[in-house]
Chains A and B, each alone.
Chain A
C-alpha cells in the first residue's frame, strides 16, 4: 500500500536495462531467450490494451463517419456528424462550459492538493504518521463515486444541514436554493472527488525533494515564503503537472457528476455524449468523442510542453 501511494514514481521503460549490454558473445543466446521472455511477459498487457483500448478508439473514429437513422447505424462515409457537431452553437457552448468546469476545478484542486501535500511532506516528521495521514486521504478514492455524490444531498439540500445551520445562525432567512442542483454543487462534488488525484502525485514529488536544498535556501537567508515560492514550488512542478493531467482529463470526460449534481440543468461534453448514446445516435456520439479526445490530447500536450514530467516517469 505504501508503494501504491507512490504510483507516479517509476523508472522509464528503459531506465535500467543498459547494464548487461557488455556481456560476452557467449551470453548472446541467453540474451535472446531473455528477450523472448520479455515479449511473453508483456504480451497479456499489450493484448488487453490492443483489444479494449486501441480497437475501441479506432471503432469510434470509424463510426463517427457513419450514418444513422432512428433505429440503426449505417456504414457509410459522411461528414454530417462532424458538421452537425461543429456547426451547432449548443456544442460550442457545451465545450466552453466543460472547459470552465475544468479550469475552476483545476485551480481549486491545485491549491488544496498542494497545500495538503505540502503539510504532509514538510510538517509531519514521523514517517509512520505521514503514511497514516496519507492513507486517510487515499481511502475515499477507493470507495464509490456515486455514493460520495449522493452523500451531499442531506448536506446541501433545501432542508439540508447547511441551510438549517445558516438559518439558525441568522445569516439567511430563506433556505438557499443554489446549493444543490447547480454549478456550485457540480464544482464542489468534482473537487471532492478529484482532489486526491492532485494530492498523490504532488506528495510524491515533494517527498523526493532533497531536504538539504531547502536547508540551503534558509541558510542563504530566504524566508519561509521565499523558500516555498522560489525553491519548493518549482521543484514540485512535475507532480503538479501529473495531477493536473489527471484532474483535467477526469473533468473533461465527466458526465455523471454533472448530470447528478446539476439536476440536469448544466451541460458537459460527456453528458451530451451520454444523451446521444441513450437516443442511440451512436455516430453523433462518436464524432463528439473524437472531438473530445482531440481536445484532451491538446491540453495534455500543452501541459507536457510547459512542464517536463519525464523525470517523474
Chain B
C-alpha cells in the first residue's frame, strides 16, 4: 500500500471492488430507465418489446395513474420549505454553538438523537400528537415538521464541520477594521461559508423530496410524490411506474448537478478573486 509510483495488485483488487460497488449502486437504476421506454405492449421485465414514449405519455393522463402532477407539486413546495428552513435554522444554530451557552450539550445530544430515533416512530408520534390536539395533519404542517427532524441534524452537523475549519482571524481582521458584527457576518463570514450553505440546502431539499416513512402518517389527505409512487407499486403493473421513477430520478440528478455546478463556480470565482 501507499507505494510511490507503481500500482500494486492491491490497487487493482480494491479498484475492481470499487467498480463493482458503483455498478451495484447504479446498475438497477439504469435498467428501469431503459425499461421505461418499453413499447406499448411491453411488460415490467426485459425483453424490450419495441421502443416508445408511450409510458411517459401515459403518466400525464390524469386518470391513468392517480394524481401525479398534484403530488409532484406538493413535494416540490414541501422540499423548498424544508430547504429554506433547514438552511436558516442550521446556520443560526451553527453560529450559536460557536460560543458556550447553557443547555448547549443537551441541545446537541437532542439533535443527534433526532438522527437515531427510527423514522416510523417520529411519523407515528407526530401523527398521534396532531390527532390528540385536534389539529388536522397536512403535508405543510405535520409532515413539514416531521421531515425537519431528519434534515436539521444533517444541516447542523455540516455547519459544525464548516465552523470547525473556519479561520477566526478573518472575523477579527474585519472587526479591527471597524466592521459591525452584522457587517462582519454578511461581508466576511457568509461569503466564505456560502458553498457549504448551498450543500445544506441540497441535503434539505432532496431528503425531503424523497422522504417516505416520516411523511406516511403525517401528510393528511393529500399525498406527496413518494407516497403516490408507493401507492402505485401496489396497483400499477405496467412500465408507467418506471417512467415515473425515471422522471423523478432525472429531476433529482438535475438538481444535484445544478447545485454542484453552482458550488464549483463560486469556488472558482473566489479563487480568481484571491489571485487578482
Contacts and interface: CB of A to CB of B under 8 A. Distances in A.
A139 B29 CA distance: 12
A45 B92 contact: yes
Interface in B96-148: 96-101, 103-105, 107-108, 110-122, 124-126, 128-129, 132, 145-146, 148
A186 interface: no
B203 A143 contact: no
Interface string B240-255: 0110010011001100
Interface string B18-52: 10011011111101100100000000111000000
Interface string B165-201: 0000000000000000000000000000001101110
Contact of A253 (B93, B113, B121): B121
B149 A4 contact: no
A192 B93 contact: no
Nearest to A60: B125
A14 B120 CA distance: 32
Contact of B120 (A46, A119, A273): A273
Contacts of A146: 210, 212, 226, 229-230, 233
A57 interface: yes
Nearest to B1: A224
A11 B99 contact: no
A258 to B, nearest CB: 11
A38 interface: yes
B17 A115 contact: yes
Interface stretch (A77-85, A88-96, A149-157, A233-241): A149-157
A14 B105 contact: yes
A141 B161 CA distance: 20
Contacts of A11: 160, 163-164
A56 B98 contact: no
A151 B110 contact: no
A10 B161 CA distance: 5
B96 A52 contact: no
Nearest to A18: B100
A87 interface: no
B118 A253 contact: yes
Contact of A59 (B21, B89, B128): B128
B161 A3 contact: yes
Contacts of A17: 98-100
A4 B196 contact: yes
B37 to A, nearest CB: 13
Contact of B27 (A53, A150, A155, A297): A155
A1 B156 contact: no
Contact of B146 (A52, A137, A289): A52
Interface in A16-59: 16-18, 34-35, 37-42, 44-46, 48-49, 51-57, 59
Given A4-B202, A151-B245, A228 B149 contact: no
A143 B253 contact: yes
B84 to A, nearest CB: 12
Contacts of A260: 233
B260 A38 contact: no
A136 interface: yes
Interface string A145-167: 11110111111010111001000
User: What size tier do the contact residues of chain B reach?
Assistant: 35 or more
B46 A123 contact: no
B88 interface: yes
Interface of B is mostly: helix
A298 B35 CA distance: 44
Contacts of A274: 120, 216
Contacts of A14: 100, 104-105
B80 interface: no
Contact of A7 (B157, B233, B253): B157
Given A59-B125, A143-B253, A155-B28, A41 B18 contact: no
Given A44-B92, A53-B110, A54-B110, A154 B104 contact: no
A139 B202 CA distance: 11
A122 interface: yes
Contacts of A53: 110, 113-114, 117, 122, 149
Contacts of A120: 18
Nearest to A271: B120
B195 A1 contact: yes
A248 B117 CA distance: 11
A214 B226 CA distance: 46
A292 B119 CA distance: 12
B46 A192 contact: no
A266 interface: no
A52 B141 CA distance: 10
A176 interface: no
13 contacts: A11-B163, A11-B164, A38-B99, A52-B146, A119-B14, A119-B18, A142-B203, A145-B212, A215-B2, A256-B212, A256-B230, A273-B120, A277-B124
Given A45-B107, A253-B213, 8 more contacts: A11-B160, A14-B100, A34-B99, A41-B93, A44-B89, A60-B124, A139-B253, A153-B45
State the 8 A-B residue pairs at the shortest beta-carbon distance, nearest first.
A253-B118, A56-B125, A10-B160, A17-B100, A41-B96, A52-B145, A151-B28, A42-B96
